[in-house]
Structure formats: C-alpha cells, structure tokens
Structure 1
Amino acid sequence: MSKRAKLSISLVFGFSDEDQIGTIQPHDDALVVTLRIGGYDVKRVMIDQDSAADIMYPELYRGLNLKPENLTAYSSPLVSFEGKLVVPKGQIRLPVQTGTDVVEVDFIIVDVFSPYTAIMGRPWLHTLGAVSSTLHQKMKYPSGDRVLEIVGNQIAIQQCLVAAIQHRLEVETSATADNNL
C-alpha cells in the first residue's frame, strides 16, 4: 500500500490587462469599495496601502449608533489629509466581512471631515492577505483554496471628490466671511 503525497498548492494572484475590463481608463482614481462593517454594508470605504491605520469617520460612527462609551482610549495623534494634527476620539474593534471571511479590525475614530466613511489600511490588508490595485480598481485576497476579489466603484470616488471640493469651498467661504467681520 503506497502513501500518496499530499500536494500543497500555493495561491498566486496578480493583476492583468483583463482586470481593467469594465473600468474607466485612463484614470488616477483611489480604490473605493463597499464593505460589510459591524453587520452593515458601508459605502465609500477607501482602500489605502499607504495608511498604517484603519480609520473611521463621524458619518459611519454615528450611522452605526456607536457611543463614546463604546470606545477604548487611543492617544497617539494622527495627521489628516490636510496635514493637520488630529487627536482621535478613541478606538473600537468591529468585524469587517469580505465574502465569508471576517476580520476583527481596530478602527481609530477621528472627528474630522472626510468624503470617505472609513479607510482600510495596511493592518486590515495584511491580516486578510489582500493585494490591491488602484489601476485595476480591484482588491484580491485568498479565501480557502480560491482567490476572491472586491471591485472598486469609480462612480463613488467621483462623488467623494465632489464632496471634498464642496467641503473645501464651504470652509474657504466661511474663513473669508470670518475675516471680513
């Protein structure tokens, strides 16, 4: 009786020109997706390989009915997109589901404007084993013996850009009015 060698197949995943089918090209869009966070489908989540933290903004914090007592302390300041120092309100651990895979994520709560509801950074990407591509507007990750993908939403990123421009105009208009007083 012979023993059969058990073959171990490593998953290899990458991106090809075929992964660009269905995207608006050329573009320089960020990767914005919908994820299931805390049991809810959350739109306008930016995938950011350059972020060393997973961030949640006020709109999502309120939308999930989270309260200050749900937070744990987090005292390290962060730097916002505008280059300003931001003191987080705290931290909360919530499940983030992709397909059937669930990863517990420590979100840092910041109370500043963002056109995004959350930013998923390297901590989540690395835990999931995911690789993202803004060019291809996709994120791929291993799940069991398969490679699954999440597709970005280029319409959502355009909406985020419009919201960011409107917010900036409101801030500038407010600052101009304050200076004229």
Structure 2
Amino acid sequence: MIYNILNLNNINSVQVHLTKGSTLSRSESKPQPKRQRGAPTNEISFSDNDHARFTFPHSDALVIDLRVNRYSIEQILINQGSNYEIMYYKTFLKLGLKDGDLKPADYPLFDFNANLEYPLGNIVLPIRASTKTLDVKFLVVKLSSSYNIIMGRMRLHTMKVVLSTNHQLLQFPTEHDIEQIRDLKNQ
C-alpha cells in the first residue's frame, strides 16, 4: 500500500473557479499563510530524502528499538503479517520478570515457526514509542530468535502507524505532530 508518496518534481495546486454571479466571502478570499518550515503538518509522508541513509537494493526487515517497562529494548521486528505481539522468553527474563508474572494464554499460535506453538503465558507491559505510551499484551514464547520482540499489526493499528520497509521508517501521529522511528542500523 502506498500512503501519500510525494513526487517532488510535480507541482500540485487547488484552484477555485467562480461561476457567474458567485462571490467569495471576505474570509474565503484571504490568502492562507504559508506553512513555516518545520511546523507540524499532521501529514504522514515518505520521500527520497528518507532513502539517504542506506544503499539499494535492499530487502531488509524493519527492526527498531522501543522502551518496554522502563528498559530500552533493541532488535524489535515489525511484522505486519502477525496478529500478535510476541516476546521471547530470554527477553522476558532480562526484564526482571518471573514466570509467576504471566497470566495463562488461552490459545496456541498457529503457523508460528511453521508449527503449532503454545505460549508460556501473556503479560501486559507499557511500551513507549517516542512520546507515545500504551499498554501492550505480549504472548511469551520459549523459542530461540535473533529478535527480542515481534510487534504485530494490532498494536501498529492502535498507534495509527504507517510504515515503509522501503524507507526503513515508521511514522505515527501524536497529539502535537507526526513522529517517526527509524530502523536501528539507519539511525
């Protein structure tokens, strides 16, 4: 899916054509002030400038870091194909959590690692992405992985994230502006 990709070579404009007998009110005819550089636009977009930090072609997954339960966690895979947020058991332990902190998981994971997997349980922890904080329910699995956490599309949708693996970047609206998080190796 493409979301508002800018073509910097095109000029787009909106023109008002009045029919005979119609007029603009005084408030409509006032010129709009130009947006100041760096002023918030509440528009999510990706441009060629976002490509400047890496070489092409690439087929890299989007891997970021976030704050989870007061800890900075690296190697978080953004996986739009997953319905769940997965935390690996090694990460769970490094956060100082114990098996007694887990609540029972009511269902297995289908098609995870091409097998039926039973989570050890689930836990709700706060995550912080830039200035936005929300509680996330993680399924904890005891498997080996080069990632610490997998963030699935449910939380991404909750945060209204728009991501581009091509640009190795995700963006999301906050109360005051659009914030972004870059892939770890391209920061």
Look up the equivalent residue of 2:74 and give its one-letter code: K
Q: Aligned equivalents of 2:69 and 2:154: distance in 1?
A: 17
Q: Aligned equivalents of 1:17 and 1:32: distance in 2?
A: 20
Q: Which has the larger radius of gyration?
A: 2
Look up the equivalent residue of 1:134 and give its one-letter code: T
1:29–1:154 contact (8 Å) kept in structure 2: no
Q: 1:131-173, CA deviations, whole angstroms, 9 ceiling, x for partnerless residues?
A: 1111100010111131110000248xxxxxxxxxxxxxxxxxx
- Residue in 2 that maps onto 1:63: 94
1:11 correspondence with 2:38: no
- Residue in 2 that maps onto 1:161: none
Cα RMSD for the two superposed structures:
1.9
1:134 correspondence with 2:165: yes
1:23 correspondence with 2:54: yes
The structural deviation recorded for 1:23 is 1.9
1:152 correspondence with 2:183: yes
Which consecutive residues of structure 1, in runs of 5 or more, have no partner in the other structure?
Answer: 156-181
* Equivalenced residues, count: 148
- Residue in 2 that maps onto 1:38: 69
- Residue in 2 that maps onto 1:162: none
The range that moved more, 39-48 or 70-79, is 70-79
Q: TM-score, normalised by structure 2?
A: 0.74
3-state SS of paired residue (1:33): strand
- Residue in 1 that maps onto 2:8: none
Q: Aligned equivalents of 1:80 and 1:135: distance in 2?
A: 26
Q: TM-score, normalised by structure 1?
A: 0.76
3-state SS of paired residue (1:62): helix
The structural deviation recorded for 1:10 is 7.6
Question: Could you list the runs of 4 or more consecutive aligned residues of structure 1 that deviate by over 6 angstroms after TM superposition?
Answer: none
Q: 1:97-134, CA deviations, whole angstroms, 9 ceiling, x for partnerless residues?
A: 01221010000101111110000111211111111111
Which consecutive residues of structure 2, in runs of 5 or more, have no partner in the other structure?
Answer: 1-26, 28-39
